[in-house]
Amino acid sequence: MNGKKTIAFLLITALVFLIICPLLSIFAEAVFQNGRFSLSSAIATITENENAKMIGSSLLLGILVVIVSSAIALPLAYIFSRTSLARYHFFDIIFMIPFMTPPYIASMGWILFMQKRGLMQQLFPDLAFISDWFFSLAGLVLVMSFHVFPFMMTMMKNAMLSVPSSLDEAGAVLGAPFRVRIRKLFMPLLTGNYAIGALLVFVKTISEYGTPSTLGRRIGFSVFTTDIHRYATVAPIEFGKSASLASVLVGICLMIWLLQNYITMRRTYSLVGGKGSAVRYRKLSRPALVAAIAFIAIVVFFSMLIPLFSVTISSLIKLRGYGMRSGNYTTANYIKVFTEDTQGINALLVSIFLAVSSATIAAMLGTIVVTISRNCGKKMKKTIEGIALLPEMLPSIVLVLGIMLFYNSIYKAIPIYGTIWIMVLSYVVLFLPYTVQYVTSSYSQISPSLVAAGRISGGSPSYVFLHITLPLISRGIMSGWMMTFIIAFRELVTPSLIAPTNTLTVSTYINRQFEQGSVGKGMAMAVICILFSTVSLLILNKAILREKR
Amino acid sequence: MKKTLIVLIMLLSVLSLSASDKGIVTVYMPSPAGLANKLAADFEAKTGIEVRTFQGTTGEILARLETEKANPVADVVILASWSDGLSMKNSGQLESYVPANADKMVPGWIDSDSTLFGYSASAVGVIYNTLIYPELSADWQELADSQYRNDIAIPDPELSGACKDFVAGYVNAFGWDTFEALADNGMIVPGANKAALEAVTTGEVGILIAGVDYNAYSSMADGEPLAIYYPASGTVVNPRPAMIMKTAPDMDNAKAFIDYLLSEDAQKMVTDAYLLPGRTDIEYSNRSTLAEIPQIECDWDAMMAISSDSAARINELCER
């Protein structure tokens, strides 16, 4: 028992070093001036006119995105949980696409589509008035909502699936019409879930860097993430300001998580009991069916087809000055990515290396974290899980800023700042929660009697772990690995803050080409990136399924 | 599992930049990326010294230097802004050195203390989309005319060193009237040089003022519908300073790299990238020559003093 405690204690120390210390260095940077504690400059930063305005617009953006993505997600959730259309499971995969497309690529697609004399105006010159409207807060809200809505849709769909049809039927039998049943029955049962979904969307929106850094910059709309990034990277560098803003952002996020916790405890109903709780699909009337299909088509069109079309076409245009015109198409951009210089191929190799190494390390570390936390006291378990899951609750730009400050300050002891290893480390920290969650859920499916049986039959603890537990949780580990691999491959925040000299990743390559090089080459790499993610997702999915059999 | 390990190790060995015996030199340089890569490759081939580059805009390079103050990495820094180079010299960051071929350089493109070496130069001009304006020759202040309303862009002077120096030079000589009028006329700031050029290439705007010329020449050579001219009241020709850092970890290699930049081969590459060569004895015919460009009288010290504030002012003026 004592040995276990020691191991758990060592693990906590390691996690504190990896995750808590960088966070603390942010707070330290914000409140220590020349070695002396002082809140004044942090407060001055926050109340500075420009920053106060920025904080206001960040929160406004978050609220607007919650509203718009609800308007998209709630009808879809209803359609795919309670109507006859719910049978078509391939929609589940289709609605993964906007979530799998990196937000910076999607917003570049939108910019190329909407800009003055851009793709839309070349196709439909009469729609030019939409462009002015798009390059404003409205466009930003729309693009971010189209990225984040699948998240809320999935949550609400699952919540709606857990409301048994018998309740609905009881309402109908007692004479309540459809509208009343929605209002009096469905809505009260789902408000808890909706509140959680809305808060998550809010946090995701104010933590997002990709869209604000591309489309937001275009329209001069600064938010937390872009300002934190600007203060930390553009001369004159002001880490203090950057850290102060990051601290505020951390505060907001933590408050929202607490609120969410509170709601989860107070306002969720246990609807899954022992009784039959089958969901019967509603057969839609003809007009309703047409309306539902039209709605799905519109969402698919805007959230997927426009950005993907725009990115693909832009990668194939030869001379940008002539736009979409027969004879002005070429595949040369794809060839140039690999042949014009070594940057393109290097960026791909670096991204693959980072994805493989961070996924592997995170999978191992995550498995260790979960395994140890299950075998030590309750208090320690809570501490370990709390720290390990922290990176998911916080905006990645905050953690990366912390890592940057922390490893810069201990450069003499651990000289990894400015090397590729600090990126590996940062990726591992950022994506550790994926493995932790997947492995935790596969652990929870293992009956304790299996392990007990192994021990009784004479297996040593390590033998039992290797031959019983590990095979059973391997799917969880693989899923965590896969998720990390795909997300890490296209990660933007870390490399744009702490990539060493000479090192571009796929994301910074695309960004750089889009902003300072050839848009054609940038978009060619974007297409390659999307294809690579999709194909690796399919391959890994297959591999996991085969293993399961 | 073994296979993954092997792949990992292979990837690692590709990535781990094994330094050659001749050592390394770390160079921070701005666009054009093609030129930077060619110079690095040729220098490596000639000397066996490995070149590590960081490529970014002038703003990004300055930021990087600031972050690395505690642990200096850069040996040679090249900027696209002479005034930013001067302010680095004034803060005592630069090493003095007399490179080979210094005598062949354009007068004034090497400073009196021999710390800034203008190995190449660019000028900014008016770049326009020929599909929208078949012909254009308006002077700077004439572009504030209402017929060009909402159709003019300028590169972000806080990101583009060349644009920054032009703004400082123009304001120093003529005051703010023209820029204020242009901003009132709906001028936009799409981003650094390339982003601004992209805006005029795709026709998002018809006219780009203070656009760097080498980018335009290179796009025109590709066949894009663009043209460039230098307005009659003059522009700023901006020597791009290469500098040796006092804190250079590889001082000898840094000096060798500066010598190389002023060699005939490197200067030829400079002209191939449509930049003006830093030496007077290099011939080129792919662009306007130095003598053909009308210039504003430049007081670099006065410009340096106002350049950063002026750049910020442009962004303020153009904010919608």
Average pLDDT on B244-250 reads 94
Residue B242 pLDDT greater than 60, yes or no: yes
The predicted structure's pLDDT at residue B19: 43
Q: Does B67 touch chain A (CB under 8 A)?
A: yes
Phi-psi region of A323 (alpha: psi -120 to 50; beta: other; left: phi over 0): left
The predicted structure's pLDDT at residue A275: 56
Q: How many CA atoms within 13 Å lie on the side-chain side of B180?
A: 5
Average pLDDT on B126-142 reads 95
Using alpha carbons, select from B244, B293, B270, B285 the residue that is nearest to residue B32.
B270
The predicted structure's pLDDT at residue B5: 54
Tell me the whole-structure pTM to 2 decimals: 0.83
Contact A516 B11 (CB under 8 A): no
The predicted structure's pLDDT at residue A419: 87
Q: Name the closest residue on chain B to residue A409, using Cα atoms.
A: B70
The predicted structure's pLDDT at residue A312: 94
Collapsing DSSP to helix, strand or coil, A397 comes out as helix
Collapsing DSSP to helix, strand or coil, B56 comes out as coil
Amino acid in the structure at residue A316: L
Contact B67 A237 (CB under 8 A): yes
Shortest Cα distance, chain B CAs vs residue A332, angstroms: 13
The predicted structure's pLDDT at residue A271: 62
Q: Name the closest residue on chain A to residue B191, using Cα atoms.
A: A515
Shortest Cα distance, chain A CAs vs residue B107, angstroms: 31
DSSP per-residue letters across A482-546: HHHHHHHHH--HHHHHHPPTT---HHHHHHHHHHHS-HHHHHHHHHHHHHHHHHHHHHHHHHHHH
The predicted structure's pLDDT at residue B18: 44
User: A179: burial class by Cβ within 10 Å (0-12, 13-18, 19+)?
Assistant: exposed
Q: How many CA atoms within 13 Å lie on the side-chain side of B256?
A: 19
b/e burial code for range B66-103 (CB count within 10 A of at least 16 → b): ebbeeeebbbbbbbbbbbbbbbbbeeebbbebebebbe
Q: Which residues of chain A have pLDDT under 70?
A: 1, 34-35, 235, 267-278, 544-549
Contact B33 A319 (CB under 8 A): no
Among the partner residues A234, A320, A417, nearest to B202 by beta-carbon distance: A320
| Widest CA span in chain A | 79
Contact A115 B28 (CB under 8 A): no
Chains A & B: contacts with CB separation below 8 Å: 108
The predicted structure's pLDDT at residue A465: 87
Please state the ipTM of this predicted complex: 0.71
Phi-psi region of A336 (alpha: psi -120 to 50; beta: other; left: phi over 0): alpha
Q: Does B8 touch chain A (CB under 8 A)?
A: yes
Contact A501 B7 (CB under 8 A): no
b/e burial code for range A90-113 (CB count within 10 A of at least 16 → b): ebeeebebbeebbbbbbbbbbbbb
Tell me which chain B residues have a C-beta less than 8 angstroms from the C-beta of A320: 198, 201-202, 224
Residue B90 pLDDT greater than 50, yes or no: yes
Q: Does B194 touch chain A (CB under 8 A)?
A: yes
- Domains of chain A in sequence order: 1-25+332-549 (1.10.3720.10)
Q: Does A349 touch chain B (CB under 8 A)?
A: yes
Backbone angles phi, psi at B76, to 5 degrees: -120, 135
Q: Does A543 touch chain B (CB under 8 A)?
A: no
Contact A420 B226 (CB under 8 A): no
Among the partner residues A233, A340, A501, nearest to B52 by beta-carbon distance: A501
Q: Peptide bond preceding A391: is omega within 30 degrees of 0, i.e. cis? A: no
H/E stretch holding A416 reads: none
Which residues 215-244 of B have a C-beta within 8 angstroms of A?
222-226
Q: Return the axis-axis angle of helices A378-393 and A2-15, rounded to nearest 10°.
A: 20
Q: Name the closest residue on chain A to residue B320, using Cα atoms.
A: A220
Contact A235 B59 (CB under 8 A): yes
Tell me which chain B residues have a C-beta less than 8 angstroms from the C-beta of A501: 26, 28, 52-54, 64, 73
Q: How many CA atoms within 13 Å lie on the side-chain side of A45?
A: 22
The predicted structure's pLDDT at residue A549: 47
Q: For residue A471, what are the contacts with CB-CB under 8 A and spacing of at least 6?
A: none
Q: Does B95 touch chain A (CB under 8 A)?
A: no
Q: Does A278 touch chain B (CB under 8 A)?
A: no
Using alpha carbons only, give the angle A504, A522, A529 rounded to the nearest 5 degrees.
75
The predicted structure's pLDDT at residue B148: 94
Residue A71 CA: distances (Å) to CA of A74, A141, A243, A254, A303? 6, 12, 35, 26, 14
Residue B306 pLDDT greater than 50, yes or no: yes
- Domains of chain B in sequence order: 2-121+238-287 (3.40.190.10), 123-236+293-318 (3.40.190.10)
Phi-psi region of B95 (alpha: psi -120 to 50; beta: other; left: phi over 0): beta
